[in-house]
Structure 1
Amino acid sequence: VSGKYKQPNSNSSSTSLKEMKQTSTVLPLALPLTLNHFSSKTNLPIYHYPGADYEEYYTTIDLMYHRLDLLHGRDASSLCRYFRQVATLDAATLFLSSLAFESPFTFIHNNRMSPPQSQLHTVESIMAYLKDTTGLLANPGLRPQIRQEVNALYNAMQHLKKRHQDARGSLRNYIIRRYIASVNGVLQVFPGCLLNNNYDPSQRLWYRKALQHPGKIVTTEPYLDAGGSGYIITIAHTIFEGKSNALHSIERDQPVAVVALDLSYGFFYKMILDSTPLCQMHNIKCLLFENEGYLIAHPSMLEPKTNIKNQRRPHEHLTHKES
């Protein structure tokens, strides 16, 4: 870019014109990005500026979008089969429900009607925006607070991931997965897995029960896991916004997220028996039911379903067993 400037001369009243050449770096309007631009080991985005020296802009967020079915080549080398799900043990996965988008209809339409290549481009745009530290990438349609929530939940997920991978933990082989969901539609899961696009955390029983009883540990009745791990129960608890004095009022404060984990039902009932010696005595039957009377633990629920027994499994009410 060239321009002409008038510069006053202190020795005379006349002025002279000088040509001054200014140079500037022209940035592209859009930064090309594909999944191949993510390092397969660190999952860090790398951007290339055409016509310029090689530069890298990245964050250290080790987080993958849940659409693992779109990965290919080296990016898919870390995938495995976890029960009946496509999964990864290297990182947590991020799921965004329609609530996280400015236009929920557009999000639903893209997931149902768009071809795979278009869905791949959407995933790339979302993850690049969430991991970008340069401020050069435009918001791909997320609500303004979503990026901050993703980062906040990621910090909590790192603790959950560390606990899940700790070989010293006595529950390591029995906790199927850990996850955390915000009230605005952000969900992170470890081990990372592929979820149905129609999944909505806010409609799940563990989420609703946790919000109905903020500040308390809630447990769902047994249900069949969609991921293929059999009958499980979910234990959940609300999370409040952090305060300097670490004090929260259930009456005044609103939960900002729900943290949960899935346990196999058989192990859950074993925990009850081990923690209560009375339950192991002859002619003693121990059962556990939730606030509406639906059974969470009962000896007969470990038995297989037949035409004459356990027909209502797993959603059985106390009156079905003890009336």
Structure 2
Amino acid sequence: LGTYISGIVNTEQDDNMSTAQTNGDMTQTVSPLPAALPLTLNHYSLKNNIPIYHHPVGDYEEYYTTIDLMYHRLDLLRGRDASNLCRYFRQIATLDTATLFLSSLAFESPFTFLHNNRMSSPQSQLHTVESIMAYLKDTTGLLANPGLRPQIRQEVNALYNAMQHLKKRHQDARGSLKNYIIRRYIASVNGVLQVFPGCLLNNNYDPSQRLWYRKALQHPGKIITTEPYLDAGGSGYIITIAHTIFEGKSNALHSIERDQPVAIVALDLPYAYFYKMILDSTPLCQMHNIKCLLFENEGYLTAHPSMLEPKSNIKNQRRPHEHLTHKESYLANDILNHKNL
């Protein structure tokens, strides 16, 4: 991971203290912790038997015309085209294919794009969607560009290749995380976003303004996690894990200082399962009177046992961004008093 700090707090209370009578004076003795706690980590295997996706070698025109990708405006589909739609939590979705979302950054005139989405009729919006997808799949070069920036068509194709690998991983029944990953997605720096399972997104959505996107660009080459937040899609409290992607080079070498990321790949997990992964990988966290937590370099918590508890106005207010000083003030004070930590 990137810059993250794990903390272990002894939660033993004062009522566990033992008392002893010596010469009429009452003295207190505290049961000491073992000198060495069994801190062992069970590492998850990074290897898998799922092959990396390669698009089939064949005719160029056939490849473009068979791209299995839908535009995210699933609400505009009617009749037979809408037969494979379902409700995924609180979103209109499809489990058959990924969906494409183009933010205003992908268009030559962002204002025109936003204005048309707000003011145009459903029929006009459907016509725009059909024009965009026809242009992206066109192999003749005869269809006019519906207002996209020149590099967008190539980026859609590149992200589609990566999405096929993510889709195969998501659908593979052998994976232990299959039932816990809510969605996978990949976004380019120019406003192209592909999501699986495919779903409807708000037209004002902008991947570049999301926390997972900005944190990934701040820490290129590292895996980052966000603080827990409430999913707009209806899946409860989730965390997002993201990583940057660099442009492919023949020598496969990249310099974080010199090269710029071209895309960010991410996935959403339920927060409860994320915390379970921490407990399973660190047996020490399962010991009595031991509380494990995880916070990032600015002190905001990414994992804390209280986040699994129901919300209350007194003990567990569940602020949008919980800070270490709110939840573990004694630990924060101890860190500030020890500059070497």
The CA distance in 2 between the partners of 1:165 and 1:64, in whole Å, is 18
* Map 1:225-236 → 2, pairs under 5 A: 225-236=231-242
* Map 1:177-216 → 2, pairs under 5 A: 177-216=183-222
The CA distance in 1 between the partners of 2:319 and 2:99, in whole Å, is 31
**286-295 or 187-196, larger mean C-alpha shift:** 286-295
* Map 1:139-288 → 2, pairs under 5 A: 139-288=145-294
The SS at the match of 1:95 is strand
Q: Are the counterparts in 2 of residues 183 and 202 from structure 1 also a CA contact under 8 Å?
A: yes
1:62 corresponding residue in structure 2 = 68
The CA distance in 2 between the partners of 1:149 and 1:71, in whole Å, is 25
Residues 230 and 57 of structure 1, relative CA distance in 2, 3 Å threshold = closer
How far did 1:311 drift?
1.3
1:122 corresponding residue in structure 2 = 128
Matched, 1:296 2:308: no
Deviation per CA, 1:2-44, whole angstroms, max 9, x where unpaired?
A: xxxxxxxxxxxxxxxxxxxxxxxxxxxxxxxxxxxxxxxxxxx
Q: Are the counterparts in 2 of residues 57 and 132 from structure 1 also a CA contact under 8 Å?
A: no
How far did 1:58 drift?
6.4
The CA distance in 2 between the partners of 1:313 and 1:247, in whole Å, is 41
Q: Are the counterparts in 1 of residues 307 and 318 from structure 2 also a CA contact under 8 Å?
A: no
How far did 1:57 drift?
11
How far did 1:220 drift?
0.1
2:21 corresponding residue in structure 1 = none
- How many residues are treated as equivalent by the alignment? 268
The SS at the match of 1:80 is strand
RMSD: 1.1
Deviation per CA, 1:173-200, whole angstroms, max 9, x where unpaired?
A: 0000000000000000000000000000
The CA distance in 2 between the partners of 1:97 and 1:297, in whole Å, is 31
How far did 1:312 drift?
3.6
1:99 corresponding residue in structure 2 = 105
Larger Rg: 1
1:9 corresponding residue in structure 2 = none
How far did 1:158 drift?
0.2
The CA distance in 1 between the partners of 2:252 and 2:64, in whole Å, is 33
Q: Which runs of 4+ in 1 moved over 3 A?
A: none
How far did 1:314 drift?
4.0
How far did 1:135 drift?
1.1
Residues 61 and 294 of structure 1, relative CA distance in 2, 3 Å threshold = same
The CA distance in 1 between the partners of 2:114 and 2:137, in whole Å, is 23
How far did 1:130 drift?
0.3
Residues 154 and 136 of structure 1, relative CA distance in 2, 3 Å threshold = same
Matched, 1:108 2:110: no
Q: Are the counterparts in 2 of residues 206 and 236 from structure 1 also a CA contact under 8 Å?
A: yes
How far did 1:321 drift?
0.7
Letter in 2 for 1:166: D
* Map 1:132-143 → 2, pairs under 5 A: 132-143=138-149
State the TM-score, normalized to the length of structure 2: 0.77
Matched-pair identity in %: 95
Q: Which runs of 5 or more structure 1 residues have no equivalent in the other structure?
A: 1-55
